[in-house]
Structure formats: C-alpha cells, structure tokens
Amino acid sequence: MTMEIRGPLELPALREDIELSTADELTLVGELALPQKTAPVATLVTLHPLPTAGGFMDSHILRKAAGRLPALADLAVLRFNTRGTTSQRGTSEGTFDGGAAEQFDVAAAMDFVRDRALPRPWLLGWSFGTELALKYGREHDIEGIILLSPPLHRATAAEVAAWARTDHEVVILVPEFDDYLRPAEAQDRFAGIPHARLIAVEGGKHLWVGESQTRRVLTEIVAAVNPVALPLATHWPR
C-alpha cells in the first residue's frame, strides 16, 4: 500500500537542527536533511523569500524540498533563517539588512557545507533568496544557482551580467503570471548570461501554490542537480 506524496508530507531522512556562525558573530538557526541510507550526491543550500513579507526557512517550496528530495533524489538540503528571521525552528540573531549584511549569512552556510564536506553545493534561491544568490554566489565554491521567481529588485544589472564570466550553471524558473518579473522581461534581463537556462512555467505564479506547481519546481531542481533521479516518485510505501 502506498500514499500520495503531496503537501507537507515528510519522507524518511536524517534531519539535524544546526546553527551557523557568521563572520560578524551572529548565530543563525537551521536544519540539515540528508538521505537516510546513502551519501548525498549533491547539496541544496536554500535561500528563503523576503522575511519582511513572511519568508523564512519553512516557506513551502523549501520545506517540501527538504521533506522530499533527500529520499527521492539523494540530495542534502540545508535550510536556515537569515538574520532576524523567525520560524518554528527558532529565531536567527541579528536584524534584517535588506540583502547587504546577509552576504555573511550566505558565507556562513557555505562554510558549514565545506566543514561538513557536503558534495556539489548549489544555491537554491526563491524570490529575495535569488537576490542573495546573484549578488554573493560567485564568491563561493558552488556548481550553480537555481533561481525561483527572481524579482531582480536588489541584484544590479552588473551583478547579473557578471555570471557570464563564470562557468557556474544558472537555472532560472520564471512563472508565467509572476507578480514582479514575467518571462518576456526575464529573457531581456538575463540576456547577458549566454549559458543561463531560463524556464518559463506556464500557469505559474510567484508563490508556486498548489501541488502541481510544487512538483514542477522540484522536478526542475532535480533535473539540474541529479537528473538520473527523474521522474520523481509521486507515491511512497506506507
């Protein structure tokens, strides 16, 4: 007998509450989820949506990535609250800084990845988190970035274009009905990165609400990071 994988269901994984230490001496709270029976083949370092608009490490796509992908795709998933952000896990020290001092939060997460020898890290940003990935990801040893619903409010044109001078993979998911940046404009704004792969998601919206949108996003993430795990299972043994 099986159950459908949907909503907040958590599949088996090794889950550990963790703390990150920033260069400006703050402690950030988070969670690391690992495959239960095998070593991870790659690592997702997740960067959540805008905390002043309700974004945090439990924002639903990131929570579902942590709940499903260790089991379905052998991925490690690191989630954490950026400075001043609260979730059920707790509150990270510090104060929201509009994406400036958050560069230290990204660095702390990457230090953790290095210290734990987690393999093949990717930055997975959603909304505000895409700004952090674009602004600061080039400084770190990553395979690539995956951008969900990038608003391009904080990342400058120069910061975006700088990715053209790297060999990092750049995958961009743009919802058809996004509130901030829709596919046609996104094509123009990211045109300076010739190797970027922009995926326009028909019917998608900024918050990716609904199981069909969740599955589409998680499928595209795995297609970039560990495509041999596709297609993702939709049912799990009880």
In tens, the pLDDT along 214-231 reads 999 999 999 999 999 999
**Mean per-residue pLDDT for 108-130?**
98
pLDDT tens-place string over residues 27-45: 999 999 999 999 999 999 9
Q: Which DSSP state fits 227? A: G
| pLDDT at 88 (0 to 100) | 97
CA distance 198 to 51: 26
**Mean per-residue pLDDT for 163-170?**
97
> Closest Cα partner for 159 from 149, 177, 173, 145?
145
| pLDDT at 20 (0 to 100) | 98
**Residues 6 or more apart whose Cβ sits within 8 Å of residue 37:** none
* Domain 13-237: top CATH class: alpha beta
**Mean per-residue pLDDT for 173-187?**
98
Contact between residue 36 and residue 13 where contact means Cβ atoms under 8 Å apart = yes
Tell me the one-letter amino acid at 185. E
| pLDDT at 73 (0 to 100) | 98
| pLDDT at 218 (0 to 100) | 98
Query: What are the structural domain ranges in the chain?
Result: 13-237
| pLDDT at 66 (0 to 100) | 98
| pLDDT at 51 (0 to 100) | 98
| pLDDT at 70 (0 to 100) | 99
| pLDDT at 232 (0 to 100) | 98
- For the chain, percent of residues with pLDDT exceeding 70: 100
| pLDDT at 183 (0 to 100) | 98
**Residues 6 or more apart whose Cβ sits within 8 Å of residue 159:** 134, 135
Confidence of residue 80 (pLDDT cuts 50, 70, 90): very high
- For the chain, percent of residues with pLDDT exceeding 90: 99
